[in-house]
């Protein structure tokens, strides 16, 4: 199936909401309510979004963690939703897929013998037998805009052109698949279970084609639904929860994923009328719009929404656990981009989920008990996740105590070997003294001893060593020993490549395959010596969601593979989100979801299990123009490899340069549970700094 598994991610819930990974709150029958600040939303920014919405009058509501936190207008008034009907109607496609009555790659003509006619000239093109349900659901079938019977304008799958006619053909295909009125089907299977009554939603008869098809009422997907904002919010909440409502999985999670994101093939298509729709093919899913290409830079990339004439909207932002519904009259158009009219509404809604302006926030690097006021304009100064419930912060040893060795070498991914040594890799240097004879982009070393008396030695390996400056040279981004075998993830190889050694690094075998999509700078999750203490039989791999190690991404992604099959590319699974608090995995990399979101800040990192605190510690570094000398550093923690992530330490400008890589090696974690050592590449050295984790008062 196209689109992969559900990308909705259950985030750490705010005060007054369910516990992380717990049962969501459901309307019963009305929404539970909460004050915005009780669920981590800034009331002033919500008010800003509402005031903009009201420039077009109408009604709306905001739901976070299943609680309504804001409403305006009449929640029961029915509005003509126009093209939001497409997004509601496509839900019937999800039902058909779940029921085995349809697949996205089905040819439309298999479901509808009269498909595409009239006009009869469509038959002459030879294109009708090639049009799939996927084409109809993505505006790539070629039908003209009007909802009646229109001519094909181009070969299917070669352009994106907004259409009512294509979705209306999709509605007919599904009507014939079920041989039922789609309105009755949807009330039985979706609307009524969601608590939407016939006074909340009305689906008019087809206005552009005969009222029946083979004696069955014919509905439209192009337009035709009138509904109130309460019903709209419930539909949005169904999609936020990956198609689940209470104990019933109404829609397949992978269908919701396909709805909410743009497949690679679609993003590459030209838009037939870019003057009206801009770069629409890069941010459109299955009859829902999205922000997958980051056109709205201040809105999370996983946001997706319905959008009809008069600016009717059902907005779903999984990483913020946010649903917003709005209907009324159109907003005034002033910008040139198709999405510009949405910015004054969506941007303050997204910003409201960050730390409120003027609210005290704990900041790393300022000392215990020291707070500062965070400005919403200072995005780099604002951590993306709330404070850790376990670790109150970090007290760093003074800068003058930092130990620096291997001058001129950077990078330094580390792992704890079966011989009690740490193994590391360096880049663009000559390693530890005595130095190797020439600068390497990839060299191996062994570090023996503790943090106060360690000795580093270079391990020579002709089958591993590489040369080349910067992005021109292969470099290690992750290192792991499992069952006596060293595994290395090597970046700058387009995108990244695996190598392994069974003799402690002397000789290496390189995989004959590479990561080709995303995973441009992958790193392993490290446990104890030789992977001792691992939580399960899997190895976990994190990376910025980017093909390059030199481009900061908006989110991090996660893969896993059985320890016994690390070298087998077919064995890799990709994290796609959470359902009921449990991770969902897919073998299709295009279905990958975010395991961590911080727009424009996801770069090089490392993750280590802390066995005393029983937390996963994630170091992220590399912010700043030249982080060797100045820049930001962040450390996050979580109880599971997939989260929920909270902030241990965050600063946009550390008191020394954090370098472009950092880690908290498991071998140097103190048994007291508080002492750790950060290894980082400040000033192109193997730099070591002692730190004390501050316990949060219970």
pTM: 0.60
Work out the average pLDDT over 182-206. Answer: 97
Distance CA 147, CA 132 (A): 18
**Per-residue model confidence (pLDDT) at position 354:** 62
Q: What are phi and psi of 544, to 5 degrees?
A: -60, 145
DSSP code at position 267: H
**Per-residue model confidence (pLDDT) at position 261:** 87
Q: Report pLDDT digits (tens) over 215-249.
A: 999 999 999 999 999 999 999 999 999 899 998 99
Work out the average pLDDT over 30-59. Answer: 95
**Per-residue model confidence (pLDDT) at position 598:** 86
The answer to whether the beta carbons of residues 575 and 592 sit under 8 Å apart is yes
Query: How many Cβ atoms sit within 10 Å of the Cβ of residue 673?
Result: 17
What is the average pLDDT score of the chain?
Answer: 90
Q: Is the pLDDT of residue 586 over 50?
A: yes
Work out the average pLDDT over 637-644. Answer: 95
**Per-residue model confidence (pLDDT) at position 23:** 59
Q: Is the pLDDT of residue 378 over 60?
A: no
Work out the average pLDDT over 291-318. Answer: 93
Secondary structure of 83-139 in HEC code, one letter for each residue: CHHHHHHCHHHHHHHHCCCCCCCCEHHHHCCCCCCCCCHHHHHCCHHHCEHHHHHCC
Q: Report pLDDT digits (tens) over 660-688.
A: 899 999 999 999 999 999 999 998 999 99
Work out the average pLDDT over 313-336. Answer: 94
**Per-residue model confidence (pLDDT) at position 627:** 77
Q: Is the pLDDT of residue 338 over 80?
A: yes
**Per-residue model confidence (pLDDT) at position 19:** 31
Quick one: what percent of the chain has pLDDT higher than 90?
80
Q: Is the pLDDT of residue 534 over 90?
A: yes
**Per-residue model confidence (pLDDT) at position 358:** 27
Distance CA 541, CA 396 (A): 28
| Least confident among 333-337, 461-465, 560-564 | 333-337
pLDDT grade for 383, boundaries at 50, 70 and 90: confident
Q: Is the pLDDT of residue 406 over 50?
A: yes
Q: Is the pLDDT of residue 584 over 80?
A: yes
């Amino acid at each position: 199936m196209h689109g992969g598994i559900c990308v909705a991610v259950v985030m750490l819930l705010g005060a007054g909401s369910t516990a992380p990974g717990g049962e969501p709150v459901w309307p019963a029958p009305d929404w539970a309510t909460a004050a915005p600040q009780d669920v981590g939303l800034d009331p002033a920014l919500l008010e800003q979004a509402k005031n903009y919405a009201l420039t077009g009058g109408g009604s709306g509501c905001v739901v976070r963690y299943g609680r309504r936190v804001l409403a305006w207008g009449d929640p029961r008034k029915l509005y003509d939703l126009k093209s939001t009907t497409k997004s509601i109607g496509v839900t019937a496609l999800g039902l058909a897929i779940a029921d085995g009555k349809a697949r996205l790659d089905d040819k439309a003509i298999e479901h509808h013998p009269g498909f595409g006619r009239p006009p009869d000239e469509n038959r002459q093109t030879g294109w009708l037998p090639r049009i799939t349900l996927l084409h109809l659901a993505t505006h790539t079938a070629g039908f003209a805009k009007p909802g009646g019977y229109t001519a094909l304008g181009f070969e299917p799958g070669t352009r994106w052109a907004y259409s009512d006619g294509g979705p209306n053909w999709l509605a007919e295909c599904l009507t014939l698949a079920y041989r039922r009125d789609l309105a009755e089907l949807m009330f039985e299977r979706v609307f009524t279970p969601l608590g939407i009554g016939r006074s909340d939603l009305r689906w008019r008869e087809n206005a552009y084609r005969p009222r029946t098809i083979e004696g069955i009422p014919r509905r439209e997907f192009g337009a035709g639904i009138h509904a109130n904002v309460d019903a709209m919010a419930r539909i949005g909440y169904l999609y936020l929860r990956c198609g689940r409502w209470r104990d019933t999985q109404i829609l397949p999670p992978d269908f919701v994923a396909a709805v909410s994101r743009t497949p690679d093939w679609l993003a590459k298509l030209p838009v037939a009328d870019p003057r009206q729709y801009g770069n629409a093919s890069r941010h459109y899913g299955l009859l829902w719009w999205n922000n997958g290409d980051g056109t709205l830079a201040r809105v999370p990339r996983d946001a997706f929404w319905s959008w009809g004439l008069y600016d009717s909207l059902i907005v779903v932002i999984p990483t913020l656990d946010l649903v917003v519904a709005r209907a009324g009259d159109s907003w005034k158009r002033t910008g040139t981009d198709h999405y510009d009219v949405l910015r004054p509404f969506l941007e303050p809604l997204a910003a409201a989920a960050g730390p409120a302006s003027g609210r005290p926030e704990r900041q790393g690097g300022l000392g215990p008990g020291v707070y500062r006021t965070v400005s919403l304009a200072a995005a780099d100064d604002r951590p993306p996740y709330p404070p850790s419930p376990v670790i109150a912060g970090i007290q760093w040893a003074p800068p003058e105590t930092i130990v620096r060795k291997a001058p001129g070498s950077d990078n330094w991914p580390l792992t704890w070997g079966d011989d009690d040594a740490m193994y590391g890799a360096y880049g663009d240097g000559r390693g530890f003294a005595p130095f190797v004879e020439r600068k390497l982009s990839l060299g191996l070393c062994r570090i023996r001893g503790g943090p106060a008396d360690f000795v580093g030695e270079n391990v020579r390996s002709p089958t591993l060593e590489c040369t080349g400056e910067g992005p021109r040279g292969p470099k290690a981004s992750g290192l792991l020993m499992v069952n006596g075998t060293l595994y290395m993830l090597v970046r700058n190889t387009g995108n990244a490549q695996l190598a392994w050694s069974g003799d402690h690094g002397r000789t290496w075998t390189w995989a004959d395959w590479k990561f080709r999509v995303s995973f441009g700078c992958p790193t392993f999750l490290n446990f104890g010596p030789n992977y001792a203490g691992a939580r399960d039989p899997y190895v976990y791999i994190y990376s910025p969601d980017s093909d390059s190690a030199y481009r900061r991404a908006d989110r991090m992604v996660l893969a896993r593979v059985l320890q016994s099959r690390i070298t087998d590319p077919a064995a890799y699974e990709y994290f796609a989100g959470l359902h009921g608090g449990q991770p969902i995995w897919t073998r299709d990399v295009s279905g990958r979801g975010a395991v961590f979101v911080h727009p424009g800040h996801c770069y090089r990192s490392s993750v280590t299990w802390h066995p005393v605190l029983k937390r996963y510690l994630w170091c992220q570094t590399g912010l700043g123009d030249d982080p060797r000398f100045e820049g930001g550093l962040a450390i996050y923690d979580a109880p599971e490899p997939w989260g929920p992530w909270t902030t241990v330490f965050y600063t946009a400008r550390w008191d020394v340069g954090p370098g472009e890589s950092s880690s908290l090696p498991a071998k140097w974690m103190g048994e007291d549970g508080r002492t750790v050592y950060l290894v980082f590449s400040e000033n192109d050295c193997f730099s070591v700094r002692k730190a004390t984790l501050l316990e949060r008062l219970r």
